[in-house]
Amino acid sequence: MLVVMKQDATQDDVRAVAEAIEDLGYKAQPMPGGHRTTVGLIGNDGRVEEGVLANLEGVLRIIHVSQPYKLVSREWRGESTEIALSNGVTIGGGDLVVMAGPCSVESRSQILESAHAVAGSGGAVLRGGAFKPRTSPYSFQGLGVEGLEYLAEAREATGLAIVTEAVDTDGVKLVAEYADIIQIGARNMQNYSLLREAGRSNKPVLLKRGMSATVKELLLAAEYILVEGQSRVMLCERGVRNFDNHARNLFDLTAIVTINELSHLPVVADPSHGTGATRKVPPMARAAVAAGADALIVEVHPDPAKAASDGQQSLTPRQFEELMGEIRPIAAALGKGVATPDRVPQGALSAP
Ligand code: PEP
Ligand code: MN
């Protein structure tokens, strides 16, 4: 429920509404706006009767949020959320943001080479897993802290922001020390203690859709993060399991449109995990931009055949450069540019 205050409502009126909400056993969240304050009611699992609230001094009207998720919904917040990164790039700010890099950080030279390629082709964010949630315990599990150190070095060298995954609650603080964006992977979308911990951190979160999760489940998972206080969350479509096996996953383009309708949070599209095959990545990346994704996240590896993970769906730097050339006019047709970091250090356009 949202209690919309009149333009001339006083601080005391807002306080009285918040107290009344708390007396009913819920949490109140005042949200000052340009013209008027709105007080949100959180913690209900069903319709709350307006009762006493509608008659309090300064109350203009009451809006019932019809969805089970609240803070993430467009009903709660009409304006799209913009997530500003320290390199001057904003996700959800109108321009398309491209995140790219290898599935895993494998070595210092591999991530630096990848970072220079991504920056040189106009990407804004470097991806790369230091902690890898692998289906098999015998597969490469990531370099851990060493990988985070290399990512930080790559950021210094190129001006790219860093997105990397935290796989457990202990990892959130560690990843937050190094990364600009904390990724929560598909396998952890419903790991509620991890979601809450990420919500308590001070870094934006990229939440990936679970392998068999509905859009509603994704939005409710994001709600766990927002309820803890972190509102800079982006939702990532990365394909879901389905009855057909023509591709690794079914890349759900409609979800991009649906999430945009239902939520104010930016949408990131991952055509790499969404398709599982290098040749299918560019067409689906182009389609995702056309469908209105705010950002792309694409796997790029200097030598995909030797990749420790997901080489079969990684682009070479050359293929990535071509893709960047293809998506620019698609973004432009939607009135969007492609965001570039405002700090591109010397040498970022050539290999180390
Ligand atoms: C990844 O980004 O490399 C990854 C493991 O993705 P997902 O969680 O979507 O499988
Ligand atoms: Mn991967």
Mean pLDDT of 31-46: 88
In the chain, % of residues over pLDDT 90: 90
Distance, CA of 91 to CA of 97 (rounded, Å): 6
| CA of 179 relative to ligand 1 center, distance in Å | 16
* Closest ligand 1 atom to 188 CA: 8
Q: Give the number of the ligand closest to the Cα of residue 304.
A: 2
Q: How far is the CA of 149 from the CAs of 100, 144, 162, 273, 298, in angstroms?
A: 18, 9, 11, 25, 21
Residue 348 has pLDDT above 50, yes or no: no
For residue 214, the SS3 value is coil
- Residues 169, 141 contacting (CB under 8 angstroms): no
Q: How confident is the model over 282-332, as pLDDT tens digits?
A: 999 999 999 999 999 999 999 999 999 999 999 999 999 999 999 999 999
Domains of the chain, start order: 2-63 (3.30.70.1140), 83-333 (3.20.20.70)
The predicted-structure confidence for 187-238, as pLDDT tens digits, reads as follows 999 999 999 999 999 999 999 999 999 999 999 999 999 999 999 999 999 9
Q: Quote the pTM value.
A: 0.92
Element at 208 (helix H, strand E): strand 205-208
Task: Pick the residue whose CA is nearest to atom 5 on ligand 1.
Answer: 185
CA of 43 to the centre of ligand 1 (A): 31
What's the 232 CA to ligand 1 centre distance in angstroms?
20
Amino acid at 61: R
At residue 147's C-alpha, the angle toward residues 144 and 151, to 5°, is 140
Asked if the model's pLDDT at residue 170 lies above 60, the reply is yes
Task: Give the pLDDT score at 186.
Answer: 98
Of 151, 182, 208, best ligand 1 pocket probe by most atoms within 8 Å of the beta carbon: 208
Question: What is the longest distance spanned by two Cα atoms in the chain?
Answer: 68
Closest CA to 101 of 183, 171, 212: 183
Residue 100: band (very low, low, confident or very high) from pLDDT cuts 50, 70, 90: very high
Indicate which residue's Cα is closest to atom 10 of ligand 1.
186
Tell me: the pLDDT tens digits for 101-127? 999 999 999 999 999 999 999 999 999
pLDDT above 60: residue 350: no
Q: Which residues line ligand 1 (CB under 6 A)?
A: 103, 129, 133, 185-187, 208, 238, 273
The Cα-based distances of 95 to 164, 171, 300, 321, 334 in angstroms read 22, 31, 21, 18, 10
CB of 314 within 8 A of CB of 301?
A: yes
Q: What is the sign of the dihedral through the CA atoms of 219, 220, 225 and 231?
A: positive
Separation of CA 135 and ligand 2 centre (Å): 11
